[in-house]
C-alpha cells in the first residue's frame, strides 16, 4: 500500500512527537518505494528518524546494524519511550535466555526493530533467523565504518552485502555523518546498493572554530595542549593516537587541577563505563581518549575537541570534531601536529600483503567440497578470523572468488599456471590501489593542517561542498592569509568539478587554492598539482 508524506508526518507526530524536516522526508520517501538510500547528514540532524518512522508503516521488521553495543542501548532506550512496536537487540553481552526471547519477539511480530552487530550477521544461525523473519528494511548505522573499519579492523563489515542477500534483499538504508567521495562509493559498493538515492546535505558546522598549530617536538606539544586546555571553556575532549599518550596527557591535565581521565580500549569495561558516565554527568571536565571514545556520545555542550596529533584522514577528523558544539554555541576544533606525525600515521595505517595467506584462502575456496561460506573458509585455514576475512574480501574485490546467492564462494581463478599468475596480479593491483588511496588521504590531512587558505573552505571542499567566500571563523581567516590564498573567481577548476588527467584519468577537484589544486582521482587517490603546471602543460581537462 503506497504511503505519502502525510503518513510519515502523522506517524512522526503521534509516535515520537516530531515534526520532520524536508531532508528527513527526502530520505524516507524512497525507502517506502523500495529504493536504497545513502544519507550523509550532519550530527544532530535526526538521522535515526529516517528508519524509525518508516518502520511503523512497513509490513515487516527493520534490521539495524550498529557497530557498538552502547549505541544499540541508546537507540533501544529511545524507542522504548516512543509509541511504536517493540525494539530488541541480539549481541555478545546477552545471556542465551535473553537472546532467545529477542528472537521470539521478532518471530511473533511483537518486535519490529532488531539491532545487531556486523559480527552477529556472520553467524549462520543469525542469518537463518533473519531469513525466516523477512525484514522489510536493513539499516547500516555509522555506515562510514564499512570503509574505515571493513578493510582491516572489522572485516565482517564487508560481508554485509551477502547477509542482506540472505535476508531476501530488502531495501538498504546507510546512515553516516561523515563520508567523502571515496567513502560514499565504498559504502555503496560494499553494501551492494542498487539504484540508490544519495542524499548528501550540508557539512558545514558554522559554530565550530577551526585551527591548527604546528609544533617542533613532543615536549612543546604537551605544553601547548596543556596550556590551551587549561584556559579553554569546558567540558572538552582531547584525542591522542595511542593509549600511552592518552595516559600521559590525562596525567598532565590532572596535575594542573583539571578533572581529567583517560579512555582507551586497554582499560577494563567497568573503567571505560565509569569515565563515560562521569563525563556525561559533568563530573569530569576533559576526557583524553583514543578513537575508541565518542561514537554515539551525545553531549550537546562539549566546548572543544583538541587533537594532539593527526588522525588517519579528514573523514575521521571531521567525525571526531563533530562531537563539539552540538548545542549550536561556539566550540573549538584544534589540530596540533608536527611533520613526523604523518609518517607515524602512514605506519599505523599501513597494510602488508601476505600472498601466502591470500593463496591459502583462495585454495580453501577452490578445493572445498561445494561452495564454502565464510565460516567454512575460516575453519579450513590456519589464520585468525580477521586475517581470513580480510583476505577473502581482497580476493572477492579482485574477482578471484565470487559470491553466489546463498552466501557461498566460487573460485574464478582457473587452473593453469598463467591463471594463477593473473589472479595474483589482480590481487596485488587491488591491494596497491587501496594502499595508495589510504596514503593519499593522510597527505590531504597534512595539507589541511598546513594550509594558509581558508581552513573551512578546504574542509568542506574535501566533502564536495563549496564555500564561495572565506568563512571568517578559522585561524587562517583571522591571520589574514585566507584572502591571499583564495582561488581566482574565474577558475575553470572549482570544487566538485569533474576533470581528466593525461595519465591518472578521471578525477574530481576537492580543493582549489591560489596556486594549487587537489584532485581525487579514481585510480590513484588524492593528488595535489601546481596550477601553473596544470595550465602550462594542459594536464587537466574539465569534463562537462
What phi and psi values does residue 91 have, to the nearest 5 degrees?
-150, 175
pLDDT level of residue 27 (50, 70, 90 thresholds): very high
pLDDT at 348 over 70: no
pLDDT level of residue 535 (50, 70, 90 thresholds): confident
DSSP classification of residue 222? H
Is cis: bond before 235, omega within 30 of 0? Answer: yes
DSSP classification of residue 488? P
Higher pLDDT, 305 or 542: 305
pLDDT at 331 over 90: yes
The pLDDT assigned to 461 comes to 85
Closest CA to 440 of 333, 534, 538, 349: 349
- Across residues 494-501, what is the average pLDDT? 87
Q: How far is CA 524 from the centre of its chain?
A: 21
pLDDT at 370 over 50: yes
**Tens digits of residue pLDDT in 456-490:** 999 988 887 888 889 999 999 999 999 888 877 77
Closest CA to 445 of 180, 147, 151, 146: 180
pLDDT level of residue 4 (50, 70, 90 thresholds): low
Average pLDDT over the chain, rounded to an integer: 87
pLDDT at 37 over 80: yes
Closest CA to 265 of 290, 285, 286, 283: 290
Cα distance between residue 440 and residue 515, in whole Å: 20
Q: What are the beta bridge partners of residue 137? A: 62
For the chain, how many residues are written?
544
**Tens digits of residue pLDDT in 100-117:** 898 999 888 888 999 988
Domains 5-200 and 204-348 share a fold: yes
Cα distance between residue 310 and residue 442, in whole Å: 9
Q: Which CATH number does the domain 204-348 belong to among 3.30.1380.20, 3.60.15.10, 3.40.50.300, 3.50.50.60? A: 3.40.50.300
- Record the pTM: 0.78
The pLDDT assigned to 150 comes to 44
At the topology level, CATH places domain 5-200 in Rossmann fold (3.40.50)
Closest CA to 253 of 276, 234, 278: 234
For residues 176 and 143, the answer to whether their CB atoms sit within 8 Å is: yes
Q: How many CB atoms lie within 10 A of CB 466?
A: 13
For residues 458 and 477, the answer to whether their CB atoms sit within 8 Å is: no
**Tens digits of residue pLDDT in 180-223:** 777 888 889 888 899 899 998 878 889 999 999 999 999 999 99
Domain ranges, ordered by start, for the chain: 5-200, 204-348, 355-436, 472-544
Q: How many CB atoms lie within 10 A of CB 36?
A: 23
DSSP classification of residue 40? E
What phi and psi values does residue 518 have, to the nearest 5 degrees?
-115, 125
Higher pLDDT, 250 or 428: 250
Q: Which of 5-9, 54-58, 387-391, 403-407 has the highest mean pLDDT?
A: 54-58
At the topology level, CATH places domain 472-544 in Thrombin, subunit H (2.40.10)
Q: What CATH code is assigned to 355-436?
A: 1.10.10.10
pLDDT at 148 over 70: no
Helix/strand/coil for 249: helix
Amino acid at each position: 500500500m503506497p504511503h505519502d508524506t502525510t503518513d510519515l508526518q502523522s506517524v512522526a507526530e503521534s509516535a515520537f512527537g516530531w515534526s520532520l524536516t524536508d531532508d528527513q522526508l527526502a530520505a524516507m520517501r524512497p525507502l517506502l518505494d523500495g529504493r536504497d538510500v545513502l544519507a550523509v547528514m550532519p550530527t544532530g540532524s535526526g538521522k535515526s528518524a529516517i528508519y524509525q518512522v518508516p518502520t511503523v508503516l512497513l509490513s515487516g521488521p527493520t534490521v539495524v546494524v550498529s557497530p557498538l553495543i552502547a549505541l544499540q542501548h541508546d537507540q533501544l532506550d529511545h524507542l522504548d519511550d516512543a509509541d511504536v512496536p517493540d525494539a530488541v537487540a541480539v549481541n555478545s553481552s546477552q545471556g542465551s535466555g535473553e537472546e532467545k526471547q529477542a528472537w521470539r519477539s521478532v518471530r511473533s511480530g511483537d518486535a519490529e526493530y532488531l539491532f545487531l552487530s556486523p559480527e552477529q550477521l556472520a553467524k549462520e544461525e543469525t542469518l537463518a533467523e533473519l531469513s525466516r523473519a523477512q525484514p522489510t528494511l536493513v539499516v547500516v548505522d555509522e555506515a562510514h565504518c564499512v570503509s574505515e573499519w571493513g578493510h582491516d579492523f572489522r572485516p565482517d563489515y564487508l560481508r554485509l552485502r551477502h547477509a542482506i542477500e540472505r535476508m531476501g534483499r530488502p531495501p538498504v538504508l546507510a546512515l553516516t555523518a561523515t563520508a567523502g567521495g571515496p567513502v560514499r562509493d565504498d559504502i555503496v559498493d560494499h553494501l551492494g546498493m542498487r539504484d540508490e538515492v544519495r542524499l548528501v546535505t550540508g557539512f558545514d558546522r558554522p559554530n565550530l572554530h577551526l585551527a591548527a598549530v604546528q609544533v617542533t617536538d613532543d615536549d612543546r606539544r604537551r605544553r601547548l595542549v596543556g596550556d590551551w586546555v587549561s584556559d579553554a571553556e569546558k567540558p572538552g575532549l582531547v584525542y591522542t593516537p595511542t593509549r600511552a599518550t592518552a595516559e600521559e596527557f590525562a596525567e598532565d591535565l590532572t596535575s594542573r587541577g583539571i578533572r581529567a581521565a583517560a579512555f582507551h580500549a586497554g582499560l577494563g569495561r567497568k573503567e571505560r563505563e565509569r569515565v563515560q558516565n562521569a563525563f556525561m554527568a559533568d563530573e569530569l571536565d576533559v576526557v583524553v581518549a583514543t578513537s575508541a571514545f565518542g561514537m554515539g556520545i551525545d553531549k550537546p555542550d562539549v566546548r572543544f575537541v583538541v587533537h594532539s596529533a593527526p588522525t588517519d584522514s579528514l573523514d575521521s577528523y571531521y567525525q571526531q570534531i563533530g562531537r563539539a558544539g552540538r548545542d549550536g554555541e561556539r566550540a573549538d576544533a584544534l589540530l596540533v601536529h608536527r611533520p613526523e606525525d604523518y609518517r607515524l600515521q602512514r605506519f599505523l595505517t599501513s597494510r602488508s600483503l601476505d600472498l601466502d595467506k591470500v593463496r591459502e584462502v583462495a585454495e580453501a575456496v577452490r578445493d572445498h567440497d561445494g561452495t564454502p561460506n565464510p565460516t567454512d573458509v575460516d575453519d579450513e585455514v590456519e589464520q585468525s578470523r580477521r586475517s581470513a576475512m580480510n583476505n577473502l574480501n581482497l580476493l572477492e574485490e579482485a574477482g578471484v572468488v565470487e559470491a553466489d546467492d546463498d552466501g557461498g564462494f566460487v573460485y574464478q581463478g582457473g587452473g593453469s599456471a598463467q591463471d594463477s599468475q593473473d589472479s595474483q596480479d589482480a590481487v596485488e593491483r587491488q591491494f596497491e590501489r587501496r594502499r595508495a588511496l589510504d596514503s593519499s588521504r593522510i597527505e590531504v590531512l597534512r595539507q589541511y593542517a598546513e594550509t594558509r587558505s581558508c581552513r573551512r573552505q578546504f574542509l568542506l571542499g574535501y566533502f564536495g561542498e563549496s564555500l564561495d567566500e572565506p568563512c571568517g571563523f578559522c585561524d587562517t581567516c583571522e591571520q589574514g592569509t585566507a584572502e591571499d590564498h583564495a582561488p581566482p573567481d574565474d577558475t575553470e577548476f572549482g570544487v566538485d568539478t569533474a576533470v581528466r588527467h593525461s595519465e591518472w584519468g578521471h578525477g574530481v577537484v576537492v580543493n582549489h587554492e591560489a596556486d594549487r589544486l587537489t584532485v581525487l582521482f579514481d585510480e590513484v587517490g588524492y593528488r595535489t598539482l601546481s596550477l601553473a603546471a596544470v595550465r602550462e602543460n594542459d594536464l587537466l581537462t574539465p569534463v562537462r
